[in-house]
Structure 1
């Protein structure tokens, strides 16, 4: 899946005559990760990108996009990097390139404050919705209790009427015939 202008192709070019295992050991990653970068089109994490760029004297911009100049280090420089085991210092040119890259990315992103404002409003709306749902559930519970109490009271009233109807109807019938 590798193309001539891919990150994987540039990583393979930097690896040069080193095996994938040697390259992986140099960066402190697995050989499978190198395979994924070179053949599967995966992009290394930021820390790995920085390590590759530092050890091989290339800019992140070049590694990611293919644009910008590349300084091919000698095998000796790569060996020094592997002995250091960590990233070597970044040159002034690389710092400037990185700063330019960050500025260009910020310009590409633009002002994100409207997005942050919308996210804040969405969060507030979701919190309000949750509060309303809780309140709704509480009110439904109160209504259910009220309805149960009304049914109980209606049952009691019906029982009282039945209790009152029985003797009063008998008494009314007796009183009506006497009168």
Structure 2
């Protein structure tokens, strides 16, 4: 078994996607229930992810990474920016708030795109009726 140090407490040889997801969730101080509610999925879905029975779709994966302030690559492979080891994690609220802010910014961008598309459709319908 590989030696696990503070620098590699989630070694690629040891941790799975589910392990990393659970670690990121716990680093934010969230229960599975709280995480499921924030993400808008069922509790059993989160459990399946953490048990490596299933994996989230790409859009959910992006939301999870933003919520926890980790890279998608780290969630999937353990490579790249992830959560700090338990000894160095202060459990502060700042990472959680930053993750929430990133998620809201992404949601706002999606909503703006949907509004623009609807405006275009309305303008076309008005032009067709005027013709």
Report what 2:18 is aligned to. 8
CA offset at residue 79 of structure 1? 4.6
| TM-score w.r.t. length of structure 2 | 0.55
Task: Report the CA distance between 1:80 and its aligned residue.
Answer: 6.0
- How many residues align? The count is 86
The residue aligned with 1:149 is: none
Higher helix share: 1
Q: Deviations over 1:50-90 (max 9, x none)?
A: 001111111111110111122558434325655x6x82458
Return the alpha-carbon distance in structure 2 between the equivalents of residues 43 and 74 of structure 1.
Answer: 28
Q: What is the SS of the residue equivalent to 2:82? A: coil
- Per chain length, whose mean CA-contact separation is higher, i.e. which structure has more relative contact order (CA < 8 Å, sep 6+)? 2
Find 2:74's aligned residue among 62, 65, 69. Answer: 62
| Structure-2 separation of matches of 1:80 and 1:26 | 14
Indicate conservation of the 8 Å contact 1:50/1:60, yes or no.
yes
Structure 2: state its 5+ residue gaps: 1-12, 85-90, 107-131
**TM-score relative to the length of structure 1:** 0.41
**Alpha-carbon distance in structure 2 between the residues aligned to 1:87 and 1:45:** 16
Equivalence map 1:148-159=2 (5 Å): none
User: Which SS does the other structure have where 1:44 is aligned?
Assistant: coil
Q: Deviations over 1:87-139 (max 9, x none)?
A: 2458xxxxxxxxxxxxxxxxxxxxxxxxxxxxxxxxxxxxxxxxxxxxxxxxx
Residue 33 of structure 1 aligns with which residue?
45
CA distance in structure 2 between the partners assigned to 1:44 and 1:77 by the alignment: 22
| 1-structure distance, mates of 2:68, 2:104 | 10
Counterpart CA distance in 1 for 2:56 and 2:82 is 18
Runs of 4+ that moved beyond 2 A: 71-77, 79-82
What corresponds to 2:96 in structure 1? 78
CA distance in 2, matches of 1:39, 1:71: 19
